[in-house]
Structures are given as C-alpha cells and as structure tokens.
Homo-oligomer: A and B are copies of this chain.
Amino acid sequence: MNNKIYFTPGPSELYPTVPQHMQSAMANKIGSISHRSQQFKDIYAHTEKELRQLLQLPDNFEILFLSSANEIWERAIQNTVESESFHLVNGSFSKRFYEISLELGRKATKYEAPFGEGFPIDQIEVPATAELVAVVQNETSSGAATPVEAINQLRSKINPEALLFVDAVSSMPHPAFDYSQIDSVYFSVQKCFGLPAGLGVWVLNDRCIAKAEALKAKGLSIGSFHSIPSLLSKAKGYQNPETPNVLNIYLLGQVAEEMNKKGIEVIRQETETKAKLVYEYAANSQTFDIAVKEPAHRSATTIILNTKVSSAEVIKKLAPFDMVVGSGYGSYKDAQIRIANFPAHSVSQMQALVYKLQELFG
C-alpha cells in the first residue's frame, strides 16, 4: 500500500474517485467490450458530452482522442501546416513543439522568452506567412503562464488566416478561454484530470478541419489513421480509427461528470485558493522563492519554486511524511522544485504540504 500524496506535475495524484471507477470498470468488464459496440459508443458520447460542458465549448469545436500531447503536436503540424509554423517558446515543452515542426520538415520559427518568463505580446513580431501560431498557456517545465487576455491580444496581431494553437496540457480546465479567439487547445489527462497517462485530448475548430482537408485536397500527406479527417469520420460515430485507450476514455467521462457536478467555477476558485497558499508561503520562505517573477505570469496549476537546498534534499525530507513534489525540469533539476496544484489535490492536502515545507525548511 502506497500512502504518498503526489504533488508531482503529471503523472500526479489520481482524482480521488478514480480507484473506485477503475474497480467498477473491472467489474463491468469495460476492458473487454468491443470498440465498435453500442456500449462503447455510449461511453465515448458520455465523455464527449461531459467534456463539452466542462470546457464550455462552442458547437464549432470538436473533441478528438489521441494518445499523448506529443502526438497532438505531431498531428497538428502534419494536418495544418504546409510550410511554416511560429512558436512562442519559454520552456522545454513549448520548445519541443517547435522542434517537432522542424523534424517534420517544416520551416519553424520562434520567439524565445527566458525560461520562467511570460511573453511580452506587444513586442513579438509574428511572421505573416506562419500558418500555425503556437502559444503555451501553461509551460509545465517553468511554471510560466500566459493569461487568456494575452492570448486574445496575440490573436489580434496575427494573420487572420493563421490558426492559433494553445497548449493547456497541464492547466485545462482551469483557463477560461475565449473560444472565439483560438482555434485549438489540447491537454493530457494525467495532469489536471487526475487520470493514469495514455490519452491526449485535442479540441479543435472548423478552421483546423478545413485546413487539413485543404492540404489533403492538394495531394499532400497529412498522415494516415490519425489525420484529422480520419479521426473525425470515426468521432462522428463516437469511435476512434484504432482501438483506443477505452478505459481512459471511460474514466475521463466519470471524472468530467464529477467536475461538472462540483462546477467549473468552484474548481477554478479552489485552484486559486491553493495556489495562493503556496505562493504566499514561498514569498516569505527562507529556503524557497517564486521562480516566475511577474505575478500575472505565475501558473495556478504548476507552481515552480527556486530552492536554496537541492531538490533532492527537499524530496528526501518530505518522504517520511508521504508527500512527493517534483524536481525542477532539465537543467533546473536541482535548483527548483515543482508543485502540481491540480483538482485532485484538496485544499487541506495543499495546506498540509505548505505547513510541512515551512516546518522543515522555514
């Protein structure tokens, strides 16, 4: 039996009801049903309906199930970029999207802000030829967030033909996006949805679909089983082209339903309350300080602290108390800790973590 509480930035603590839903799934043999059966279509339709409600999606947006955010990066480039993409980069994950575009043979350019900083939108020049503009709403590696207003401001600066893609891998459903200003947003279920890994969720509008169809009509390859048209043709009938991760689609529907019962506004408020607990502690700590200097750019869901003792030491000292935080990312491994603040983490758990950090490290 493992009694640890995982404040790691994903995989992380499972949503509290997941073990019980998993037990139901096993008792009801959800892992054995056909991915072409009515029973599966009903599960898929339920998950889609609950997600649509939770994310407050307009009708011109579709939801597609892929296997990871990495895959979504690849499919986004394959399906919507003939020649050129532009990336706002301020950490390892936004940079990876840029690299994937290059690996797929596109011309990718970027504006790079220092690690841990947000984007000065008014200073960024977006090439008029960029077909896809990528912005990370929540950079999991650095804890820098892009406010919704800044994303909307970015939209006003780019070619109206360009598609605006938003990475909310580790923040969805927290940001209240204005869907009239963006074309796609995507996330992974092992972050804020508190599920086991193995499912990426791609939300995209009619403009993304039209672009994929236009590239296909020009005779360009947009991939195969996971091209947008292929995914969409099956999604319309509540299925996937391949046998998907059925269990995770089921679990996502259960968790999204519970989140809807709780209410998205309550979830957002709790997230803010817990973030405030950690940031206020860190602002006055003798050992830690807040990595992201600009308050407006501090993530609510992945909180990064600079640490005077090594992250390994922090992790080691927390272990006897069954609390796990993440080390820093990449070259910040030792010098930073990362604290996930997801809906699975209760206010009292976050309070307990803050008390313990205070007690151990001041």
Contacts and interface: CB of A to CB of B under 8 A. Distances in A.
Contacts of A67: 67-68, 71, 198, 242, 245
Interface in A185-199: 188, 190, 195-199
Contact of A104 (B12, B224, B245): B224
B2 A243 contact: no
Interface string A57-98: 000000000011111011000000000000000000000000
A2 B27 contact: yes
A8 B31 contact: no
A199 B242 CA distance: 11
B10 A29 contact: no
Nearest to A100: B224
Contact of A247 (B12, B69, B198, B246): B198
Interface residues of A, number: 58
A150 interface: no
The 7 A-B pairs with the shortest beta carbon distances in the complex, nearest first, are A198-B245, A31-B196, A67-B67, A70-B242, A68-B242, A6-B32, A19-B26
Interface of A: 1-2, 4, 6, 8, 10-14, 18-19, 22-23, 26-35, 67-71, 73-74, 99-100, 103-105, 188, 190, 195-199, 221, 223-227, 241-248, 326
23 contacts: A4-B29, A8-B34, A14-B31, A19-B27, A31-B197, A34-B326, A68-B242, A68-B243, A69-B242, A71-B225, A71-B226, A74-B224, A99-B224, A100-B225, A103-B221, A103-B224, A103-B227, A188-B243, A190-B243, A197-B244, A197-B247, A198-B244, A198-B248
